[in-house]
Amino acid sequence: MGLRAVVSDVMFDRVVPLMIARASHSVMHPLDWGVLELAVLGVLTQVGLEFYRHGVPQVFASWTHLPARGKPLDVLARRDRQFIACSQIAIVVMTFHYLQYMASSPFVPWRLDQLSVANTCAALPLLFVVYDAFYAPFHRALHHKSVYAYVHKHHHRQVVPTRGNTDAINVHPFEFIMGEYNHVLALFLVSRYCVTVHAITCVLFLVIGGTLATLNHTRLDFSLLRLPFTSIPIFGVRAHDTHHAIPNSNYGQYIMLWDYVMGTFRLHPQDPGSRESARDEGGVQRDANGAVDAVADAPAVVTGGGLRRR
């Protein structure tokens, strides 16, 4: 018997059946997952990150580019690379636990005949609403002067995001882990207390979320829908671009709903009606009644907690 025949027999008579058996056990017993499942998920996650880095910018390449408002962080320092590596590991571990919850929760149906409008079309936007209900205030708290320099300041070294997913995950590990596991929290709360969430919806939540976070850190001027009865985009790259240029505004990760509620939404400087567009040739900014806005017209200074007026 030749070497090829021996290898073929070992693969198809021993290895493949063992892999199928292990995969079946993993599906049936998600709480027993271990190192092997984590390693497989790690490979798949890295493939997904490559799609975010290269595929997402190509898919949305036809959108116009926002002009740079400052100097981009052209060279990544050692600390940047360390934090990016930590984020990549955190994504794998979070996704591992996210899938464990999906596979073990009675509130996450998997069968195709269990698909419904409620567990897909209603559940998906609700996941984003609940996610940012926690993330936006958390993000805002990270800008407080007492903690800004220790955690979130690192991310704002990049004033003009250009690298997409690489800039998106260039975040302090504490902040990134909190943001990642917020996906698990959102899924738990929505599926347990609001409406069952189909497994397909769960996956779409992560994939769409990763896509939006990537777009937020490009110059691609993509936006999606608007909050009812307002001119505020539900999602808009220029909203997050504004946050990087004017840090005390637009704290939402995916949607601007909670910034509208908190009163922290700010139009992009290029948008009609923005504070910058309201300035006249003499540099005076006026409010909606035409009166001079003395606070907004004061010089801006950057402090540990973000941009302030003096």
Residue 126 belongs to some domain of the structure? yes
List CB contacts of 102: < 8 A, sequence separation 6 or more: 108, 187, 199, 202
CA distance linking residue 164 with residue 137, whole number of Å = 24
Enumerate helices (H) and strands (E) in the chain, giving the number of each: 12, 4
Identify the three-state secondary structure at position 215: helix
Identify whether residues 252 and 109 lie together within a single domain.
Answer: yes
Taking only the tens of pLDDT, the chain with its 310 residues reads: 577 766 666 665 665 565 555 565 565 567 677 788 889 889 999 999 999 999 999 999 999 999 887 888 999 999 999 999 999 999 999 999 999 999 999 999 999 999 999 999 999 999 999 999 999 999 999 999 999 999 999 999 999 999 999 999 999 999 999 999 999 999 999 999 999 999 999 999 999 999 999 999 999 999 999 999 998 999 999 999 999 989 999 999 999 999 999 999 999 888 877 777 666 445 555 443 344 444 444 433 344 444 444 4
Q: Are 214 and 168 in contact (CB under 8 A)?
A: yes
* Structural domain that includes position 215: 38-262
> Tokens at residue 126, please?
């609700």
Residue 293 belongs to some domain of the structure? yes
Identify whether residues 108 and 239 lie together within a single domain.
Answer: yes
Identify whether residues 251 and 147 lie together within a single domain.
Answer: yes
Q: Are 113 and 199 in contact (CB under 8 A)?
A: no
Identify whether residues 54 and 100 lie together within a single domain.
Answer: yes
pLDDT of 290 reads 40
> Tokens at residue 179, please?
């943001």
**CB environment 205-235: b (16+ within 10 A), e (fewer):** bbeebbbbbbbbbbbbbbeeeebeeeebbbb
Identify whether residues 308 and 197 lie together within a single domain.
Answer: no
Identify whether residues 210 and 114 lie together within a single domain.
Answer: yes
Burial of 133 (0-12, 13-18, 19+ CB in 10 A): middle
Identify whether residues 110 and 57 lie together within a single domain.
Answer: yes
- Report the number of distinct structural domains present in the chain: 2
Identify whether residues 214 and 304 lie together within a single domain.
Answer: no
> Tokens at residue 148, please?
């800004």
Identify whether residues 138 and 62 lie together within a single domain.
Answer: yes
Residue 145 identity (one-letter amino acid): K
Residue 196 belongs to some domain of the structure? yes
> In Å, how far are 231, 251, 264, 275, 291 from 296, measured between CA atoms?
21, 20, 14, 8, 12
H or E, element range at 234:
strand 233-236
pLDDT of 123 reads 98
Identify whether residues 70 and 122 lie together within a single domain.
Answer: yes
pLDDT of 8 reads 66
pLDDT of 300 reads 39
Residue 19 belongs to some domain of the structure? no
pLDDT of 177 reads 98
CA distance linking residue 274 with residue 231, whole number of Å = 12
Q: Are 52 and 210 in contact (CB under 8 A)?
A: yes
Identify whether residues 161 and 127 lie together within a single domain.
Answer: yes
Residue 118 belongs to some domain of the structure? yes
pLDDT of 33 reads 79
Q: Are 48 and 203 in contact (CB under 8 A)?
A: no
Identify whether residues 283 and 242 lie together within a single domain.
Answer: no
